[in-house]
Amino acid sequence: MKVLIASLHLTHAGGVANYVGLLLRNIQGHDMEQFVQGLPPRYHRSFILPFVYAVQCFQFSARLNAFKPDLVHLNPSLTWASLIRDTVLLLIARRKGYRVLFFIRGWRWPLYERVKKTRPLRSLLRRALSSADMVLVLSQDFRDALVVDLGVDATRIAVSSTMVESRKYGVEGRSFIAPFRVLFCSQLHREKGPAELLEAIPGILHKHPDTQFVFVGGGSLVDTLRMRAKSTGIGRSVLFAGRQLGDAKIEWYRKAHVFVLPSYTEGFPTVVLEAMAAGLPLVVTPVGALRHVLEHGRNGYILDRVPPQPGEISEKITSLLDSSETMQEMSECNMQEARDRYDVEVVAAQIARLYDELCSSGAAR
């Protein structure tokens, strides 16, 4: 079977590129090719963006004619640029008679609400999703929204997950002995909650003064957060490690004891699966798939409020650091779940079976 999978370049930071890279390396028995699309974020407000996307649409059409895939696998994020671009690509592929799997990566409720209330966009999205052979989403909430709000046939929508190479992150015999290290690993943007975590740190240091807090990732708030840490007197306890890739990033997971991601909105973030594979107890908000797949008190602690409250973040992290036994139990649970449910071999095999089902279901509609 020939599958053309579209995404950003594999060197791009983020879960979509990581997911596609894992699929390309681990799907067995299929001829997989990537169609590279999109531009770096710094160009997203540039006047050249529409022209680049127009060119890429022509390139995509030409690639379809040359490769003649059995299935096209699109991976849009729920952003304006990605949603419009991939919807157009979907319609191009369907007009040419190709089967299409449309995997919506991530979810932003404010954007979705705007799309839902804007008639032309709502109509375009409904038409696109209704024409796809299968739509994948990362949470039951997202599936329900598409069925109820847009009228998409529920039989065309399935819930899937992201994945992790768990063997790379696992730490055998991990110990939870002070001094502790708390890890945040994501883009340092407002909606990821790094400012709330930073504000929570003084309360944690009051009881666990030797704790170190590591922020891994780049983003618009790096300089602001660094200056705030210094001005509030916690600079010595906070490290901004910048963007880390490959083994360097994995090493931060291995050296940490607790993982925190107090996001305002998520789909199913890969960093949470990486933290689970590394055996880290979690402190996260109940957003996206996380509130369905994680159990409070078993995988870690799920915060009550979105946006997150610094006081509650401080309380939950302190509660973990107070009990090495609790952290150890959560660690073992998370490593086991990462291996059994989210390992790349497990999820890639599920996607391969879905490919087979879609391509054995008769002619493309």
Give the per-residue pLDDT at 365.
44
Give the β-pairing of 134-137 and 212-216.
unpaired
Measuring CA to CA, which residue among 131, 119, 101 is closest to residue 27?
A: 101
Q: 157 pairs with which residues across the strands?
A: 135
DSSP code of residue 286: S
Give the per-residue pLDDT at 50.
72
Measuring CA to CA, which residue among 154, 133, 106 is closest to residue 3?
A: 133
Instruction: Check if the beta carbon of residue 75 is closer than 8 Å to that of residue 351.
Output: no
The secondary element (H helix, E strand) that includes residue 319 is helix 310-321
Q: What angle separates helix 109-117 from helix 119-131, to the nearest 10 degrees? A: 100
Q: How far apart are CA 14 and CA 32, in angstroms?
A: 21
Give the β-pairing of 2-7 and 300-302.
unpaired
User: Using alpha carbons only, what angle is made at residue 80 by residues 75 and 85, rounded to the nearest 5 degrees?
Assistant: 50
Identify the three-state secondary structure at position 278: coil
Give the per-residue pLDDT at 39.
64
Break the chain into its structural domains and give their ranges: 2-163+343-359, 166-341
Q: Look up the CATH superfamily of 166-341.
A: Glycogen Phosphorylase B; (3.40.50.2000)
Which residues does 314 contact at the CB level (< 8 Å), separation at least 6?
200, 201, 202, 203, 204
Instruction: Check if the beta carbon of residue 359 is closer than 8 Å to that of residue 1.
Output: yes
- Other beta carbons within 10 angstroms of residue 54's beta carbon come to 11
> What is the CATH class of 2-163+343-359?
alpha beta
Measuring CA to CA, which residue among 5, 26, 313 is closest to residue 166?
A: 26
Query: How do the pLDDT tens digits run along the chain, 365 residues long?
Result: 999 999 888 877 677 888 999 999 999 889 999 999 876 555 555 567 677 778 889 999 999 999 999 999 999 877 777 778 888 899 999 999 999 999 998 777 788 888 888 888 888 888 888 999 999 999 888 999 999 988 899 999 999 999 999 999 988 888 999 999 999 999 999 999 999 999 999 999 999 999 999 999 998 899 999 999 999 999 999 999 999 988 999 999 999 999 999 999 888 999 999 999 999 999 999 998 998 999 999 999 999 999 999 999 999 999 999 999 999 999 999 999 999 999 999 999 999 999 999 988 754 54
Phi and psi at residue 129, to the nearest 5° = -65, -35
Radius of gyration of the chain (CA): 21
List of long-range contacts for 172-178, beta carbons under 8 Å, 24+ apart:
174/279, 174/328, 174/331, 176/257, 176/324, 176/327, 176/328, 176/331, 177/324, 178/208, 178/210, 178/211, 178/321
Q: Report pTM.
A: 0.90
Burial of 272 (0-12, 13-18, 19+ CB in 10 A): buried
- Six token digits for residue 126: 């409904």
Give the per-residue pLDDT at 34.
94
Give the per-residue pLDDT at 15.
79
Same fold, 2-163+343-359 and 166-341: yes
Over the range 130-149, which residues count as b (16 or more CB within 10 Å of their CB) and which as e?
A: ebbbbbbbbbebbbebbeeb
Q: How far apart are CA 330 and CA 279, in angstroms?
A: 8
